[in-house]
Amino acid sequence: MSSRIEELKKLYEQAMLGGGKEAIEAQHSRGKLTARERVELLVDPGTFLELDMFVRHRATEFGMDKRWVWGDAVVTGLAKIDGRRTVVIAQDFTFMGGSLGEMHAAKIVKAMQFAISQGIPIVFLNDSGGARIQEGVDSLKGYGDIFYMNVMASGVVPQIAAIMGPCAGGAVYSPALMDFVVMVKKTSFMFITGPRVVKAAIGEVVDEQQLGGPEVHASKSGQADFVADNDKEAISIIKRLLSYLPSNNMEDPPVIKVGDPPDRDVPELDEVVPEDPNAPYDMYRVINGVLDAGSFLEVKAHWAKNAITGFGRIDGRSVCVIANQPNYLAGVLDIDSSDKIAEHVRFCDAFNIPIITFVDVPGYMPGTRQEHGGIIRHGAKVLYAYSEATVPKITVIVRKAYGGAYIAMGSKHLGADFVAAWPTAEIAVMGPEGAAEIIWRRELEAVKDPQERAKLLAKFTEEYRSKFANPYVAASRGYIDSVIQPRDTRRVIARALDMLSTKREVRIWVPPKKHGLTPV
């Protein structure tokens, strides 16, 4: 028996080394941790239950019968992260660049099946050169199996991908199918086709970071939700993100009290909105004033900055934050911000996280670039997401809420449960000046002197503003539930959340259907 145990210990030591000591040193020289080091940082000490440590590939072509390691370049298992059960998958770049073959993929699929059946989140640490070409179509089959499991897990358990090295070709679609993507500066990249293929195909010269580095995906494509300076920070972001999320779609999010009273007065909010209705201000002041101190975690902070999305807490309860940002493009809705808002609303609805919307939106971005790019189709995603959502929906109209954008941003007409407005709210079909130019067009055209015409337009604009660009007309129709002093916003939202905590919305009047057809 002792000889068998000694053999087991030896094999265990071999498995723990992955591709070997030299490969581990090479990984460290690139500023990267190994797969096992990442897992150790991520999970609670002593909780990792590894799966399939002694799996190995069964390929024999191209000398593969002599080239293998235990575990086949991926570490999978069950663990606890801050006391909560999680499935962890970490690709091991030290063997064949973490390339994906048949058995490598089979390990990943088995782990994902565990997550779905147990109702626990999936954290996938990607570090792979792509498909293992020596295994041919078996590698492609493996990717297909993983993508299928990503879709089966979607809306059932949270899925978080960290890109901590290469992620190219077919490998990019698993993170794309997951809920959140964290990328690491300098060491990670994602693209369908690499620089050499790009140069050969279209003559464009570009390096890996310019083509698909973290900065690119965080600011241009919107594919990266978070960017970390290094592996350790990426793992810290994952842990913090998980703290806002339930383990599955049947649970409520965790409640974490930080000692911030829900009825805390926020007097500084009374001074946030400028007297000039066209002057910008920073919506982060509103968000941070309302949420529990230090609880805001922004998602996609560097993409579509005219919209703000993220998570926070009010009286310890997890909430989804959606807001327009008047400090950037006046908070207008365009193609990218519409996609950003719709995606976040749908995730939060799937996982029972109440949606808090702060509105200051002058409308949709005009122009041929937006129209030809499909602003109608993309804007419709926001309408669909809010209408589909059945979680508690609370909306605060801070200032402008014009036209179709007013409807889209969590209005009562799309099923908001509680809508509050500040006294500075302007709710109308369009801005007062534009409305005045249409309503009093003939009167204005009759005045030939430009200065007199400008004075008359200002008079008509103020008349329209006093009649319609305020919260009281909408409140008189019941479209706004309460007009509140800004300093009371936190207190009002906390009470609304408490009252809505048992909300159950069953739409029995909707005919049975397989699924809706969201605009794409």
Among all residues, which ones are annotated catalytic? Answer: 169-170, 404-405
Closest CA to 16 of 41, 32, 43, 39: 39
Six token digits for residue 367: 């122009």
Question: Residues 252, 246: contact at Cβ < 8 Å?
Answer: yes
Question: Residues 93, 165: contact at Cβ < 8 Å?
Answer: yes
Whole-Å CA distances, 343 to 289, 305, 385, 446? 25, 15, 8, 49
Residues 6+ apart with CB under 8 A from 178: 122, 124, 150, 159, 160, 161
Location of structure tokens 């973290």: 214
Burial 235-265, CB ≥16 within 10 A → b, else e:
bebbeebbbbbbbbeeeebbeeeeebebeee
Phi, psi of 313 (to 5 degrees): -135, 145
Phi, psi of 125 (to 5 degrees): -95, 105
Whole-Å CA distances, 340 to 221, 306, 369, 385? 11, 10, 18, 11
DSSP state of 412: G
Location of structure tokens 């970071």: 209
Location of structure tokens 């999978």: 76
Rg of the chain taking only CA atoms, in angstroms:
27
Q: Please state, as a whole number, how many other Cβ atoms lie within 10 Å of the Cβ of residue 51.
A: 17
Beta bridge partners, 361, equal 401
H/E stretch holding 122 reads: strand 122-126
Residues 6+ apart with CB under 8 A from 514: none
Instruction: State how far the Cα of 257 lies from the Cα of 259, in Å rounded to an integer.
Output: 6
**Single-letter code of the amino acid located at 342:** A
- Give the Cα-Cα-Cα angle 511, 515, 520 (nearest 5 degrees): 130
Question: Residues 19, 25: contact at Cβ < 8 Å?
Answer: no
Question: Residues 128, 93: contact at Cβ < 8 Å?
Answer: yes
Six token digits for residue 328: 């950037």
Beta bridge partners, 324, equal 307
